[in-house]
Structure 1
Amino acid sequence: MPLGKVDPGLRAPEIPLDLATIGDDARLLEAIGYDGMVVEETKDDPFVIMALAAQATTRLKLATSVAIAFPRSPAVTAMSAWTLQKLSHGRFTLGLGTQVKAHIERRYGLAWSPAGPWMREYVGAVRAVWECWQNGAPLAVRGRHYKLDLMVPLFNPGPIEHPRIPIQLAAVNAVMCQVAGEVADGIRPHPVCTPSYIAQVMLPAVRAGAAKSGRSLADFAVCMKPLVAAAASEAELVPKVRDVRARIAFYASTPQYRAAFDHLGLGEFADRLKLLSRAQRWEEMPQHISDEVLDTFVTIGTYDTIGRKLCDRYGPVVTHCEFSIPVKDAADKARLADLAGAIQAESVDKARRAIAGS
């Protein structure tokens, strides 16, 4: 499958999604040759958006990138994914993320537990529910977090035509990558994960997890929405670059992403930004992002060059590359189609070999 999965950000990222146009957006992506459409859980329910896209299309692959797992019971997540898989006739991928401790405790009101073991159990529970529905297996989940053993006919949707729903896990640290290698079908590296970090830290952990559970990585996916500054012209790139500097500064100040910065010898740099963040000195933070740091984490280019630059940077380690480009008129649609062609021309053979370690 070529690089080129794209998310539904057909307007500028700061403009909220218009739910009334999701179907049109999805049809546009399908018509001009994109592989898929993904949506993250920020301001709208990703499962609702995916349902709108599934209803409007016939070929486009659909994925959450990601839905937050722990606030939802595995049975609830299993039902949402099962319904979308039925509606899309087998085109849905369930992307799951953990969220950080502060959000789990203070936004969702849950008790925190180490994310790796929790996610391993969560994925197993979701799949156990699916196995119960598809094949009539007794529901018998007994773990630290979940005890599931009741499924009555009224709440059992029964078998579907395409029961194999891929699960991908958002990851930064090696522990979650190993869990993904053990139990999932792919990883979704955070935008701060550079190609060298993916190749030298994340993929070895994935291979270790796969070896632990005796799984093949032949179809394992690495799906990523990199940090990108793209515009129609060099002049229009200037504010995009300014905005992405601020985003890097925010990510560097977040302790959960520290490993990606440590890998590049930027641990002390991340510490400085963390202190500025704690002091709420937000306006000062972007000026600490030098051009060298910017180029390390961000792919920058005009629309006619950005596709090739993304393929050159991420092609060897990423199987699916995701991005957002605003579409306001016919010229923008043409640019989006050209970008699809540039990326679709690339192969993922190098990435597959890197995942397998060959």
Structure 2
Amino acid sequence: MTDRDTFLPVSAQSSVGTFVEQARRSEELGYDAVWLPETWGRNAAVTLTSIAEHTETVDLGTSIMPIYSRSPALVGQTAATLQEVSDGRFRLGLGPSGPIVIENWHGVEYGNPLKRTRETVDVVKQVLTGEEVEYEGEYFDLSGFRLRCAPPDPVPPVEVAGMGPKAVELAGRFADGWHALLFTEEGLEERLADLHRGVDLGERDPDDVRVTLSLTCCALADSERARELVRQHTAFYVGGMGTFYRDSLARQGHEETANDVYDAWQAGDREAAMDAIDDDLLDALAVAGTPEEAREAIARFEAVPGVDAVSVSFPRGADSEDVTATIDALAPN
């Protein structure tokens, strides 16, 4: 059975307490995990610590924590600490993010994200064993680092995000899970083939690599509003967040639309960018409509073979009432 998770909003919330309440609501309604992104808002580790103190059973994780804004050793320390404060419920989701975030906002060169992701995961996994870390890579050389506290038990899984074929293949080779975002069912199936190739190359058990699909959802009585919010969110990611989402959509057979959305958004024509996403594509990428329509739509994605969990994400323009309504409408219980 496919798990159903909550992906807490990427948009600004009124307080850390708002995230806590959304997580508690998710736990009460039977969601399996709560994921928190780290973009340019609140610190994910601090916020998850607060959530951990106010929840009891739901898994907690980062999706994703950028690998360029912390050293791998610090990421390992953070994961060990969050595993402790959550009583073993933590899952670490990592990813390279993109040049807009990393270079413009963190002032760090965005180079060779695949290699850097691989080395970060290698170091983090060594840190979490509690043994002394000896590592020599292209980006990181460590010698003598060792956790001063007891290593986490159980060791939290280290999962990665990726969109391109090679990134997903590498996830299958070395990570404990893959986080997917902005995929049609057909596009997801293509990338799952890359994941399985990586699993084979790494001589691993496919059951050891968990697949989580983050799915933009909005379930409201006002179906038109729900669809408008999701359309705007999709246009923002394809048109405004660098070229990775545009390229991913193009690889899925929608190159003309991807370029139209990107060009219009870059030209400042937000309406044209949104209009370029027709209803069929919107429904292929996301879940938007009345609660009844949304429940039918999310079931299609959960039925894709190889998907272990679908994470209910929210459009960036959704307010707290929209988020709560969607959490309630798509509750697994």
TM over 0.5: yes
Give the corresponding residue for 1:355: none
Give the corresponding residue for 2:117: 119
- Once superposed, what is the RMSD of the aligned Cα atoms? 2.5
**Corresponding residue SS for 2:111:** coil
Cα distance in 2, alignment partners of residues 320 and 181 from structure 1:
16
Deviation for aligned residue 1:266:
1.9
Counterpart of 1:256 (choices 220, 244, 264) is 244
Contact in 1 for aligned 2:216/2:313 (Cα 8 Å): no
Cα distance in 2, alignment partners of residues 327 and 106 from structure 1:
29
Deviation for aligned residue 1:101:
2.2
Give the corresponding residue for 2:256: 268
Deviation for aligned residue 1:324:
5.0
Give the corresponding residue for 1:351: none
Deviation for aligned residue 1:321:
1.4
Q: TM-score if structure 1 supplies the norm length?
A: 0.82
1:34 matched to 2:69? The reply is no
Q: Would the alpha carbon gap of residues 274 and 204 (structure 1) be closer, same or farther in structure 2, given more than 3 Å must change?
A: same
More displaced 10-residue stretch of structure 1: 216-225 or 313-322: 313-322
Contact in 2 for aligned 1:94/1:168 (Cα 8 Å): yes
Give the corresponding residue for 2:161: 170
Contact in 2 for aligned 1:299/1:310 (Cα 8 Å): yes
Give the corresponding residue for 2:63: 65
Percent identity, please. 25
Contact in 2 for aligned 1:172/1:259 (Cα 8 Å): no
1:91-112, Cα deviation, whole Å (9 max, x unpaired): 1000112111232222111122
Aligned partner letter, 1:186? G
Aligned partner letter, 1:237? S
Deviation for aligned residue 1:14:
5.2
1:218 matched to 2:212? The reply is no
More displaced 10-residue stretch of structure 1: 69-78 or 247-256: 247-256
Give the corresponding residue for 1:97: 95
**Corresponding residue SS for 1:124:** helix
Deviation for aligned residue 1:271:
2.1
Give the corresponding residue for 1:277: 265
Contact in 2 for aligned 1:273/1:285 (Cα 8 Å): yes
1:214-241, Cα deviation, whole Å (9 max, x unpaired): 111113211122122320x2xx121221
Deviation for aligned residue 1:139:
1.4
1:227-271, Cα deviation, whole Å (9 max, x unpaired): 22320x2xx121221222222223333421234322343212222
Q: Would the alpha carbon gap of residues 303 and 105 (structure 1) be closer, same or farther in structure 2, given more than 3 Å must change?
A: same
Cα distance in 2, alignment partners of residues 313 and 324 from structure 1:
13
Give the corresponding residue for 2:139: 145
Cα distance in 2, alignment partners of residues 8 and 278 from structure 1:
27
Give the corresponding residue for 2:153: 161
Cα distance in 1, alignment partners of residues 329 and 108 from structure 2:
46
Q: Would the alpha carbon gap of residues 259 and 285 (structure 1) be closer, same or farther in structure 2, given more than 3 Å must change?
A: closer
Aligned partner letter, 2:138? R
**Corresponding residue SS for 1:34:** coil
Contact in 2 for aligned 1:230/1:301 (Cα 8 Å): yes
Q: Would the alpha carbon gap of residues 106 and 85 (structure 1) be closer, same or farther in structure 2, given more than 3 Å must change?
A: same
**Corresponding residue SS for 2:153:** coil
More displaced 10-residue stretch of structure 1: 262-271 or 53-62: 262-271
Deviation for aligned residue 1:337:
5.4
Deviation for aligned residue 1:52:
1.0
Superposition map of 1:179-198 within 5 A? 179-190=170-181, 192-198=182-188
Aligned partner letter, 1:127? K
Contact in 2 for aligned 1:35/1:60 (Cα 8 Å): yes
1:82-128, Cα deviation, whole Å (9 max, x unpaired): 00101112110001121112322221111221111111111001111
**Corresponding residue SS for 2:70:** coil
Deviation for aligned residue 1:15:
5.5
Aligned partner letter, 2:208? D
Q: Which has the larger radius of gyration?
A: 1
Contact in 2 for aligned 1:3/1:315 (Cα 8 Å): no
**Corresponding residue SS for 1:4:** strand
More displaced 10-residue stretch of structure 1: 246-255 or 111-120: 246-255
